[in-house]
Amino acid sequence: MSERFWSNAGTEPKRSFRWYLTLAGAEEKIETYAIKTVKKPSFAVSEVPHQYVAHTFYFPGRVTWNTIDATFVDPVDPDQSAAITNMFVKGGYQKPVTELAARSSLSKGNFTLAVGEPKITQIDASGNIIEDWTLHNTFFTSIDYGQLDYSSEELVITTVTMRYDFASLSNTQNSSLLS
């Protein structure tokens, strides 16, 4: 029987405050120190019912990976809002000020180049990598530049929602789990 972390001082559970997100595309990078929160990847498996006489049996269907929200503090220098906006523009967005620009659209290929492959890395108390989640074919589905308020001294927080096709997980125990 394996030792439990609460009965062995040499083992420790993963901690929710020991991590960093790498979000760097071909030309822009979000500074790791500015990222405040990120949700780890998650997925859902649909179910397919099959009716046989008076019974219903269920089979696993398609896997759908859920979106991820990342929030970060928006420093003045380097300007993280500008970096996020540049990633969005490199993804193909153009202001609809001309007829040609009005007909343009975002491109998944351009977006994935602009955003790169975001990586969520969990570390231990010594800074060693415990696990890495890599998001593949990522693009932004939402950007929220935060809220301004004269009655508050809070930092401006930007939230980005990312859609990806799938994620791979590698850790120190098994070199590759979901790849």
Per-residue model confidence as pLDDT tens digits over 99-124: 766 566 788 899 999 999 999 999 98
Per-residue pLDDT, 33:
85
The tens digit of pLDDT for each residue in 61-97 reads 999 999 999 999 988 888 899 999 999 988 888 777 7
Per-residue pLDDT, 107:
86
Amino acid making up residue 179: S
Please report whether residue 2 resides in a domain: no
Per-residue pLDDT, 177:
62
Per-residue pLDDT, 26:
81
**What is the Cα–Cα distance from 128 to 88, expressed in whole angstroms?**
33
The domain containing residue 90 runs over which residues?
19-171
Name the more confident of 29 and 120. 120
CATH of the domain at 110: 2.30.110
Q: Mind spelling out the 3-state secondary structure of the chain?
A: CCCCCCCCCCCCCCCCCCEEEEEECCCCEECHHHEEEECCCCEEEEEEEEEECCEEEEEEEEEEECCEEEEEECCCCCCHHHHHHHHHHHCCCCCCCCHHHHHCCCCHHHHHHHHCCCEEEEECCCCCEEEEEEEECCEEEEEECCCCCCCCCCCCEEEEEEECCEEEEEECCCCCCCC
Q: pLDDT category, 28, cuts 50, 70, 90?
A: confident
**How far is CA 12 from its chain centroid?**
25
The tens digit of pLDDT for each residue in 153-176 reads 999 999 999 999 999 999 876 565
Please report whether residue 136 resides in a domain: yes
Per-residue pLDDT, 102:
59
Please report whether residue 129 resides in a domain: yes
With contact defined as beta carbons under 8 Å apart, do 86 and 28 qualify? yes
**What is the Cα–Cα distance from 63 to 42, expressed in whole angstroms?**
10
Give the CA diameter of the chain. 69
Please report whether residue 7 resides in a domain: no
Please report whether residue 33 resides in a domain: yes
Please report whether residue 89 resides in a domain: yes
Give the end-to-end CA distance of the chain in Å, rounded to a whole number.
29
Average pLDDT score over residue span 22-33: 86
Q: Which two tokens stand for residue 45?
A: 């498996």
Per-residue pLDDT, 11:
74
Number of domains comprising the chain: 1
Per-residue pLDDT, 97:
75
Residue percentage of the chain with pLDDT more than 70? 89
Please report whether residue 12 resides in a domain: no
Per-residue pLDDT, 94:
79
Please report whether residue 152 resides in a domain: yes
